[in-house]
Amino acid sequence: MNRGRLRAIVWKEFVQMRRDRATLGMMLGVPVMQLVLFGFAIRQEVRHLPTTVFDVSRTQESRLFVDRLIATGNFDLVAPSPDYAGAIRAIDTGRARAAIVIPEDYARRLKRNEPAHVQVLVDATDPTASQSAIGAAQLVGQATSVEILARRAGATVDPGATPLDVRVRPLYNPALKSVLFIVPGIIGMILSNILIVITAMAIVRERESGTLEQLIVTPLTRGEIMLGKIMPYVGVGLVQLTAVLVVGYFMFGVHVRGSVALIYLMALLFIIASLGLGLFISTLVTRQAAAIQVSFFFLLPNVLLSGFMFPREAMPKAAAWIGLLLPLTHFLQIMRGIVLKGVGIASLWPQMLALAGFSAAFITFAALRFHKSLE
């Protein structure tokens, strides 16, 4: 490696980058835009379902039960329905996403110590969106049952005195805000997608314009060409990381619980792995359009299998295994670990090893192929 030659190629990359306003905008604007979009738009917890009530019982007991359901924050009352078919129609048309149906004999059966029935209909076309409403309805039902049983036994109701008291304490993200989960994910998503495409393009562009051939006749070694093309984008990746962390902090209140320095160290490994992959892609194709297509081949699994949006625990074994072959999967675990849990290298070293392995493998593959593709 010759310092002067390397400096020349890195300098040239930066001049070109500065001049290419569109790409520059894409490199810096897209991460922040995606963060804002995802941050505001993706809410996995769905609350406040518009809810219609068909209460035939019309008693104090039935109104109390409806009030309790509403108090959970999962159901917002809309116009009540005159009959059962009306309640169904309200959900069919989308005017309501849930319906509470209380039969005529509700209060009477309760008084006679007979089992009373309540029906809660929830639009479950989107399973995720309906989950918390379903959970809330079941909980309210159970709590009310316990209360009624206790009253029958002649005891006063004291929730602290139930025989079994299960207390769930959500760790790391106590408010269960999805944005806290999403932001660290977005960082990995953006770094990998943008960097893979940009590196692949950067080399293929030189091949297309004939400058790559010119570089090979100069004393530049292949290692210098590769390193010189990659180094500026390592810088770009670190700037993107910083932008997303800063915007995440000020706009979404995402605090990094762990070490920021560790984030940068891990991101560096991840960036190198992504650039290596981009470089490898650039050796497989000769046209920029093809480079973009091959890159997209990696982008979709990145979204679907890495655990960015869908929990890996829920995936079939095969899909989960494929997910392990993506650097992003490991990086997401690292980022969520550091940002949300505040854990250190002691618990993250397996993922770190995986990233280091990917970096080494991709760079080696790319170097071998790069050598051949220039002949």
Binding site for another protein (CB under 8 A): 2, 4-5, 7-9, 11-12, 15-16, 19-20, 209-211, 213-220, 375
CA distance 136 to 340: 26
Query: Closer to another protein at the Cβ: 125 or 214?
Result: 214
CB of 72 to another protein, least distance (A): 59
Closest CB to another protein among residues 20, 83? 20
Least CB distance to another protein at residue 295 (A): 22
> What are the Cα distances from residue 281, in Å, to 14, 152, 302, 305?
22, 72, 16, 20
Give whichever of 203 and 254 is closer to another protein, judged by the CB atom: 203
Cβ atoms < 10 Å from Cβ of 364:
12
Q: How far is the CB of 216 from another protein (least distance, A)?
A: 6
Q: Which is nearer to another protein, 2 or 138 (CB)?
A: 2
Q: Which is nearer to another protein, 19 or 317 (CB)?
A: 19
The smaller minimum CB distance to another protein, of residues 21 and 112, is found at 21
d(CA 317, CA 250): 38
Report the residue number, 114 or 213, with the smaller CB distance to another protein.
213
Beta carbon of residue 304, minimum distance to another protein (angstroms, whole number):
36
In angstroms, give the least distance from the CB of 19 to another protein. 5
Q: How far is the CB of 349 from another protein (least distance, A)?
A: 40
Closest distance between another protein and the C-beta of residue 211, in Å? 5
